[in-house]
Structure 1
Amino acid sequence: MKTPVFAIDVGYGNTKYAYRTASGAIATGIFPSLTPLAASRTLSAYGESVFSARKVAKIMVENIEYEVGPDVPITAAYGRTGRALTDDYVSTDNYAALLFGAVHFAGVTHIERLVLGLSVHNMERYSAELKRQFVGEFDFGHGRVVVEKVVVIPQPLGSLVLAASARGGDFGRDDSHLLVDVGYYTTDWIYANGFKMDDNRSGGIPGGASQVCQRIAKLISRDEGEQVDDIERIDKSLRERAPFYFYGRTIDLAPYVERAAPVMTGVAIEMQNDVGRLHDIRSIILSGGGAALYGPAIRRAFPRAVIERIDSPCLANARGFLIVGEAGLARERGAA
């Protein structure tokens, strides 16, 4: 399938993608950003009459097979889930495997414009590299894929564009907003007047949901006297408000979230130091999978500001990337 614009938000926590269907609707998908090495044997195939088939794919990068997809295991022995929590994430084979996984699950074979996002503090360092790396012809184990052009934008810009699109005429060109994108590994913010970004009041730092989960894991380890590595399970329990089991016993995570509050407060204070008191903005727009977790800390940092949350915050950037890519492609075609 050929598509004019394909948008992928390869996050540290989840990989999200969006594209326009033949009917004009926006199709989206999401799966965990986990890339365990593909198993050398598939015993589960012998039990297919009993077990449901898993939605995963083997993706080949540099002659190594990784397993990616919605049903990839979120737990592994000693925490080896294939999660990459490093600042040079976009340069890793894990990142490439997740990107190609999104292309595979969407069934796309030819992309005119691939739109990707980067953390604000990594834009200058990695944007040119991404544009070079993912242009051309590729075969990651599922046939040939062609990418004609790559566009890289600051991650929070996707959510800002989506918010403006949803509001229509209510999003004034002279209105100022602070868009805060709380991801799995980083928190990024953009101060914008309409669509004019203020570089001096925009930024980002490592500090997202994973740091809270890591802190909770350390606290549980100390209380239980045994190492806890299951930050993926902790994250899932927090997001879904589901029980967290430890040797068959349910552990209430709410007290641990309170004890991990300094992690979130530190990020909010860092942002506060960068943007000021925000008496001049119309609202703070919260996006990203960690928005609910960090919301109270951001409220304490900016007690008088109006705070709004984007619907389906996990998918907001990918959907916004698609809008940005389509607008850019339309301008190019108009100029031609």
Structure 2
Amino acid sequence: MKTSVFAIDVGYGNTKYAYRAAGGSIATDMFPSLAPLAATLNLGHGDGTMTTRKVVTVTIDKIEYEVGPGVPLNAVHGLTGRALAADYVTTDNYAALLFGAIHFAGVTHIERLVLGLPVHNLKTYSDTLKERFCGEMDFGCGRVTIDKVVVIPQPLGSLILASSTRGKNFNPSDQHLVIDVGYFTTDWVYATGFTINNVLSGGTPGGASHIYQRIANLISLDEGEDCDCIEMIDEALRERTTLRFFSKDIDLGPYLEKAEPVIAGVVKEIQRKVGKMPNVRSVILSGGGAALYASVLRRAFPRLIIEVIDSPCIANARGYLLVGEAGLARERRAA
């Protein structure tokens, strides 16, 4: 299948993607950003007794990785295949997740691939992504052709999406702060309309995973056993369920309250950068960790409107799609 624009937000926590489906609607999906080495033993049954996991094997530099919604969230010694590093976008894990998204969407030819980067390393890795993922490639489960790669600051996707939902009510002279709470980093852009203020924009290590790790450490202290299941903590908080730890079902609510100092530290860094912002129209909160940060941000900025964007985890990918479509339309008009 050929598509004009395909948007992928390969986050540290989840890989999200968006494209135009038949009929013009926006199709989206996501799966955990886990890329463990592919299993060497297949115990599946062909009689219909056992269900088949939804995964695909992606080959990067002759190494096979397993990606998709069916990858296990827990693994022996915590080896889940997640990469938490500053140079994440240069890793084979990142490439495997990107190609996995393309595979699950059934796309074989992309005119414009739109990707995002954290604000603080946009300049460092933008050209790397453009060079690595442009052209014709074979990743072990099919060929794909990508004509052009566009890279934008991650929070800009949420700003574009928010503006599209407001229509005529979006004033290009209004100032907004968009905070994207990711899995490993928190990034923000300060913008007037769509013009980004580079001085007031920024990013810092400190996302949802830092909260999960703090909760895991607290559970370890209480239970006298190492708790290295931050993937399961992530899932339990998102699904609002208890965490199964050995024979106990643990309510994570009290632990989340004890982890608030981790959130407060990141919020203090944002405050230091942007000040009180008396002229800001609203603070737009996005990303998979948006719900975790909302209450602390409201206390930090009590006189501002804090808006949690609809479906915050997938918001950037949807915004990337709109950015790519607008850019492609401009190029076609110019031609």
Question: TM class by shorter-chain length?
Answer: over 0.9
The whole-number CA distance in structure 1 between the counterparts of 2:311 and 2:209 is 19
Is the 2:294–2:308 Cα contact (8 Å) retained in structure 1?
no
Give the letter for the 1:319 counterpart: R
Residues 258-273 of structure 1 aligned to structure 2 (within 5 Å): 258-273=257-272
For 1:172-251, what aligned pairs fall within 5 Å after superposition? 172-251=171-250
Shift of residue 46 of structure 1?
2.2
Q: Map Cα deviations across residues 53-80 of structure 1 (whole Å, 9 max, x no partner).
A: 2111011111111111111111111111
TM-score, length basis structure 1 = 0.98
Q: Any idea what the Cα deviations from partners look like across 1:232-261, whole Å, max 9, x if unmatched? A: 000111111111011121112111111111
> After the TM superposition, which residues 77-116 of structure 1 pair with which residues of structure 2 at under 5 Å, given as runs?
77-116=76-115
Equivalent residue number for residue 17 of structure 1: 17
CA distance in 1, matches of 2:181, 2:316: 11
CA distance in structure 1 between the aligned counterparts of 2:197 and 2:9, rounded to whole angstroms:
23
What residue identity is the alignment partner of 2:52?
A
Q: In the alignment, what sits opposite 1:50?
A: 49
Matches within 5 A, 1:142-153: 142-153=141-152
How many residues are treated as equivalent by the alignment?
335
Cα RMSD (Å) of the superposition?
A: 0.9
1:328 corresponds to which residue?
327
C-alpha separation between the residues in 1 aligned to 2:283 and 2:145? 39
Counterpart of 1:210 in 2: which secondary structure? Answer: helix
For the structure 1 residues 46 and 158, does the alpha-carbon distance in structure 2 shift closer, same or farther, using more than 3 Å as the test?
Answer: same
2:62 corresponds to 1:71: no
The match for 2:291 is 292
Q: Match of 2:193, as an amino acid?
A: G
Identity %: 65
Question: For each residue in 1:11-61, what CA deviation from the matched residue of structure 2 results, as whole angstroms up to 9, or x when unmatched?
Answer: 011000011123111111100000111100111x12652222211101111
Q: What whole-Å deviation, never above 9, does each CA across 1:245-296 have from its counterpart, x for those lacking one? A: 1112111211111111110000000000001101111110111110000111
Counterpart code for 1:232: E
Partner Cα distance (1:256, 1:205) in 2: 23
CA separation of 1:266 and 1:16: change in aligned 2, threshold 3 A: same
2:228 match: secondary structure: coil
Whether the 8 Å CA contact 2:181–2:187 is kept in 1: the answer is yes
Q: Check the 8 A contact 2:155/2:316 in 1, yes or no.
A: yes
**Aligned counterparts of 2:185 and 2:64: Cα–Cα separation in 1:** 28
Amino acid at match of 1:15: T
CA distance in 2, matches of 1:196, 1:143: 39
Structure 1 stretches of at least 4 aligned residues deviating more than 6 Å after TM superposition? none
CA contact (8 A) 2:282 2:305 kept: yes
Gaps of 5+ in 2: none
Q: The residue matched to 1:305 in structure 2 has which SS? A: coil
Other structure's SS at 1:200 match? strand
Return 252-261 or 150-159, whichever deviates more.
252-261
Q: What's the TM-score once normalised by structure 2's chain length?
A: 0.98
Per the alignment, residue 301 of structure 2 pairs with 302
Q: What do the CA deviations read for 1:112-148 (whole angstroms, capped 9, x no partner)?
A: 1000000000101100110001011111112211111
Q: Deviations over 1:87-112 (max 9, x none)?
A: 11001000000000000000000111
| Separation in structure 2 between the aligned mates of residue 144 and residue 250 of structure 1, nearest angstrom | 45
Q: Give me the whole-angstrom Cα distance separating, in 2, the residues matched to 1:48 and 1:93.
A: 35
Question: What amino acid maps onto 2:32 in structure 1?
Answer: P
